[in-house]
């Protein structure tokens, strides 16, 4: 039988990668609190994911950027911004923005809910693939901030008084909060939970 940290009564310190007995309260190497699994990983991930989901709605339906110029006044949501690029033939940038601000956030939340469901039911289906999915959302997490930085650059570069002006919309705030909440949710999750059910059954 495979030996795990639970079956051998040991805990891995996530701060210094030292393995100590599970009976110790703090890590003998770095003095950080020692836990076999991240504390309340399931509940915390669920809570932050649901909170992020709430912010996803205003982030997509409110204007993210307002453009005022002497010819027109334009409120644009995230999707309108993407269509603007596609209409003007900028397929590369349009795709980047679409991936970073629509596709990736939805994908991240879906994967998180899928993993939580998998932990809850103790499903043993393709565990290492699920682990890989988690690794992917961990890496791409911060790339959703792209849109916020683009707005930052736009509002500081397009300030020509009555001629043209760009201001921030409410969606930018919702979007940024959503990204941060998803990142915290991802950090709170513990992939070891996926395997734990298996050991309890043996």
Given 79, 107, 136, 180, the residue binding other proteins (CB under 8 A):
180
Of the CA atoms within 13 Å of residue 22, those in its CB half-sphere come to 10
Rg, Å, the chain Cα set = 22
Contact pick of 9, 17, 33, 43 for other proteins (by CB under 8 A): 17
Tell whether residue 164 is a contact of other proteins (CB under 8 A): yes
Q: Does 12 bind other proteins (CB under 8 A)?
A: yes
Contacts (CB under 8 A) with other proteins, residues 56-95: 85, 88, 90, 92-93
Work out the angle between the directed axes of helices 104-121 and 170-188 (0-180°, nearest 10): 30
Q: Which residues of 129-158 are buried (b: 16+ CB within 10 A; e: fewer)?
A: ebeebbeebeebbeebbbbbebbeeebeeb
40, 116 in Cβ contact below 8 A? no
Confirm or reject binding of residue 51 to other proteins (CB under 8 A).
Answer: no
Tell me how many residues contact other proteins (CB under 8 A): 64
Q: What is the DSSP letter of 1?
A: -
The single-letter DSSP state of residue 189 is: -
* Min separation Cβ 47 and other proteins, Å: 19
- Nearest residue to 141 via CA among 161, 111, 171, 166: 111
Contact flag: residue 9 with other proteins (CB under 8 A) = no
Q: 106-145 mask for other proteins (x: CB under 8 A)?
A: ---------------------xx--xx--x------xx-x
Could you say whether residue 31 binds other proteins (CB under 8 A)? yes
Select from 10-18, 45-53, 71-79, 102-110 the region that touches other proteins (CB under 8 A).
10-18
Q: Is 201 in the site for other proteins (CB under 8 A)?
A: no
Q: How far is the CB of 16 from other proteins (least distance, A)?
A: 5
Q: Structure tokens of 77?
A: 């949501």
Using a 10 angstrom Cβ sphere, with 0-12 exposed, 13-18 middle and 19 or more buried, the burial of residue 95 is middle
52/136 Cα distance (integer angstroms): 18
Interface with other proteins by CB under 8 A: which residues?
Answer: 2-6, 8, 10, 12, 14-20, 28-32, 85, 88, 90, 92-93, 96-97, 127-128, 131-132, 135, 142-143, 145-146, 148-150, 152-160, 163-164, 167-168, 172-173, 176-177, 180, 183, 187, 191-192, 194-196
């Amino acid at each position: 039988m495979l030996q795990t940290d639970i079956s051998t009564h040991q805990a891995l310190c996530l701060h210094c990668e030292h393995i100590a007995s599970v009976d110790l309260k703090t890590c003998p190497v770095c003095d950080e609190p020692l836990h076999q699994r991240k504390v309340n990983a399931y509940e915390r991930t669920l809570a932050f994911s649901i909170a992020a989901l709430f912010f996803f709605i205003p982030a997509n339906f409110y204007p993210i950027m307002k453009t005022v110029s002497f010819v027109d006044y334009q409120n644009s949501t995230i999707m309108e911004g993407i269509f603007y690029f596609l209409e003007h033939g900028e397929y590369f940038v349009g795709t980047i923005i679409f991936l970073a601000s629509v596709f990736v956030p939805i994908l991240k939340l879906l994967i998180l809910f899928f993993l939580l469901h998998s932990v809850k039911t103790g499903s043993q289906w393709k565990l290492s693939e699920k682990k890989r999915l988690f690794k992917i959302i961990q890496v791409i997490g911060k790339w959703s901030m792209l849109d916020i930085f683009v707005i930052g650059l736009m509002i500081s570069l397009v300030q020509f008084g009555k001629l043209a002006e760009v201001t921030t919309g409410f969606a930018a705030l919702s979007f940024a909060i959503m990204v941060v909440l998803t990142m915290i949710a991802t950090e709170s999750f513990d992939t070891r939970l996926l395997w734990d059910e298996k050991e309890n059954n043996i």
